[in-house]
Amino acid sequence: MNSDRESAREQMVAVQLEARGIRDRRVLDAFRRVPRECFVPEEGTAEAYGDHALPIGLGQTISQPYIVAFMTESLRPKPDSHILEIGTGSGYQAAVLAELVEEVDTVELVPELAEQAEERLRRLGYNNVHVSQGDGYSGWPQKAPFDAILVTAAAEEVPPALTEQLKEGGKLILPIGAPDGCQELTMVTKREDGGCETKPLMSVRFVPFQRGKSDCGGSQTEGLE
Ligand code: SAH
């Protein structure tokens, strides 16, 4: 059983990632280690290593492995990096990052998903990931600044708090565009003078970035631990 999963992972890395140009050895090794089948609902485990996104319940999806790998590699994660993810979902992307860097903070809007991801990541031993439930539009100010920020839901504009919470030289990757169509995966790099450079990376399709209820001008994120 275990070796079946290992060979499914090895095959995914060779066919879906290396063959399509993912080169960073550390990133490829992280994909060899994270048990993707643990991040999908039970009825989806047979499909866990398929070359596509999968539903994780509540209308949300776990992204296609290649997209997770492409975004991860584009962030140029270093062992001492501190990374923020907006859109925890299943926690898979956070687990991949946790294999590569010192600390990962991740914010999820939907309480059930945040709780499930937190529990799953604990169970799998990812103690360097912190999950917070709230609207990621305001980032996670108490944990800033970050070396890199990744948004895994499609926004129509760059949330200003996210560039504010980046270190100088830091990178923000997010899909920008209409929620019901294709979006442009975009890399924003914060320059030393505080300005930003924006570069389109590829065309993608993500679930929409939603806004939390904000009856007092913005929802506050709250750690689950
Ligand atoms: N990274 C995830 C996939 C994310 S799907 C994984 O590896 O499984 C996008 C997620 O973004 C969904 O779980 C959705 O609930 C969440 N989301 C949407 N808008 C959000 C917001 N404003 N703040 C935080 N999370 C948000």
The dihedral built from the CA positions of residue 128, 132, 138 and 140, taken in this order, carries a sign that is negative
Q: What is the pLDDT of residue 171?
A: 98
Of the residues 63, 81, 132, 138, which is catalytic?
Answer: 63
Contact 93, 175 (CB under 8 A): no
The DSSP line for 13-57 is IIIIIGGGT---HHHHHHHHHS-GGGGS-GGGGGGTTSSS-EEEE
Name residues whose C-beta falls within 8 Å of residue 8's C-beta, 6 or more positions apart in sequence.
48, 49
Q: Ligand 1, residue 58: give the atom nearest the CA.
A: 15
pTM: 0.94
Q: For this structure, is 63 an active site residue?
A: yes
For residue 107, report the distance from its CA to the centre of ligand 1, in Å: 8
- Residue 118 identity (one-letter amino acid): E
Q: What is the pLDDT of residue 194?
A: 85
Q: Ligand 1, residue 117: give the atom nearest the CA.
A: 8
Q: What is the pLDDT of residue 218?
A: 42
Q: For a ligand 1 pocket test, name from 37, 52, 64, 108 the mutation site with the most ligand atoms within 8 angstroms of its C-beta.
A: 108
Q: Is the CB of 62 under 6 A from ligand 1?
A: yes
Calculate the CA dihedral of residues 78, 84, 86, 91 and round it to 10 degrees.
60
Q: 114: which 2 tokens?
A: 């945040």
Q: Is the CB of 107 under 6 A from ligand 1?
A: yes
- CA distance linking residue 210 with residue 188, whole number of Å: 21
pLDDT tens-digit profile of 37-47? 999 999 889 99
Residues of the chain with pLDDT under 70: 1, 214-222, 225
Q: What is the pLDDT of residue 217?
A: 40
Q: Which residue has the tokens 């007092």?
A: 216
- CA distance linking residue 218 with residue 85, whole number of Å: 19
Q: Is the CB of 152 under 6 A from ligand 1?
A: yes
Residue of 164, 170, 97 whose CA lies nearest to 131: 97
Q: Is the CB of 70 under 6 A from ligand 1?
A: no
Q: What is the pLDDT of residue 31?
A: 98
For residue 71, report the distance from its CA to the centre of ligand 1, in Å: 15
- CA distance linking residue 139 with residue 145, whole number of Å: 10
